[in-house]
């Protein structure tokens, strides 16, 4: 799964990397993005823009927004089966912009926070789906979920799922406006090769969603000396 991530990259770097026409004025560096908080997405609409939406997919037919709290991730294997995902997968896809994410590795009764990022520490795109919910008598709410798949060899010892990180050559297909057949989309939802990523353990500071700042991604080895755990 993917339950926390980072977006620390400079706005102008994001503009160039994703060929964006606009950026939100309130985009600021984030080191501990958590569910229900605003996340930066590029929806499959023209022109290509970056917008902020709620993390946790609220289907358009939902009676209550709380359903989104349980739908921060969407398994690639069930996108064509689950009612909450089917229409969004076919018609409303997005790139969720990030530059790192966290998983928690179980060792006995303890969980160790692990930070995963590209070896060049650059920005990347999670495969996402988005939706707009219009509550009766209220303002519409845009939301999204991150698509997950089986882990690659690097992450398998840490967790049994990983977010789909789409390579640049897949962006155009994933962001194609309108309905796209699943046979063209499902092959894109595979693990990123392990040699593109780097992992290291960080402190429990990141465990609390309220905690923010560079302290979240400081390696344990830099905090206490010694070597990282196997």
2 is catalytic: yes
SS3 174: helix
Half-sphere exposure of 218 (CA within 13 A, CB side): 13
- Using CA atoms, how far residue 134 sits from 61, 70, 96, 131, 143, in Å, is 9, 19, 22, 10, 11
Catalytic residue among 2, 94, 144, 216: 2
**Taking CA 188 as the corner, what is the angle to CA 187 and CA 189, rounded to the nearest 5 degrees?**
90
List of residues 6+ apart from 20 with CB closer than 8 A: 14, 42, 48, 49, 50
How many CB atoms within 10 Å of residue 161? 16
Q: In the chain, how long is the greatest CA-to-CA distance?
A: 58
Q: Which two tokens stand for residue 204?
A: 């429990």
Torsion of CA 200, 57, 29, 151, to 10 degrees: 20
94 is catalytic: no
Catalytic residue among 103, 131, 144, 216: 103
Active-site annotation, residues: 2, 103
């Amino acid at each position: 799964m993917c339950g926390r991530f980072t977006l620390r990259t400079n706005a102008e770097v994001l503009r160039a990397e994703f060929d964006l026409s606009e950026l939100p004025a309130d985009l600021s560096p984030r080191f501990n993005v958590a569910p229900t908080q605003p996340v930066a997405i590029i929806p499959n609409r023209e022109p290509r823009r970056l917008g902020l939406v709620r993390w946790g997919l609220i289907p358009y037919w939902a009676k209550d927004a709380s359903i989104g709290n349980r739908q921060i991730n969407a398994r690639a294997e069930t996108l064509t089966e689950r009612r909450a995902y089917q229409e969004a997968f076919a018609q409303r896809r997005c790139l969720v912009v990030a530059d790192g994410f966290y998983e928690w590795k179980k060792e006995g009764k303890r969980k160790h926070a692990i930070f995963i990022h590209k070896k060049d520490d650059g920005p990347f795109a999670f495969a996402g789906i988005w939706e707009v919910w219009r509550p009766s008598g209220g303002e519409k709410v845009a939301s999204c979920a991150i698509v997950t798949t089986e882990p690659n060899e690097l992450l398998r010892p840490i967790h049994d799922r990983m977010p789909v990180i789409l390579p640049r050559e897949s962006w155009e297909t994933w962001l194609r406006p309108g309905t796209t057949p699943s046979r063209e989309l499902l092959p894109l939802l595979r693990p990123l090769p392990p040699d593109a990523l780097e992992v290291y353990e960080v402190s429990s500071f990141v465990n609390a969603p309220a905690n923010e700042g560079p302290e979240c991604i400081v390696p344990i080895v830099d905090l206490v000396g010694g070597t990282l755990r196997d």
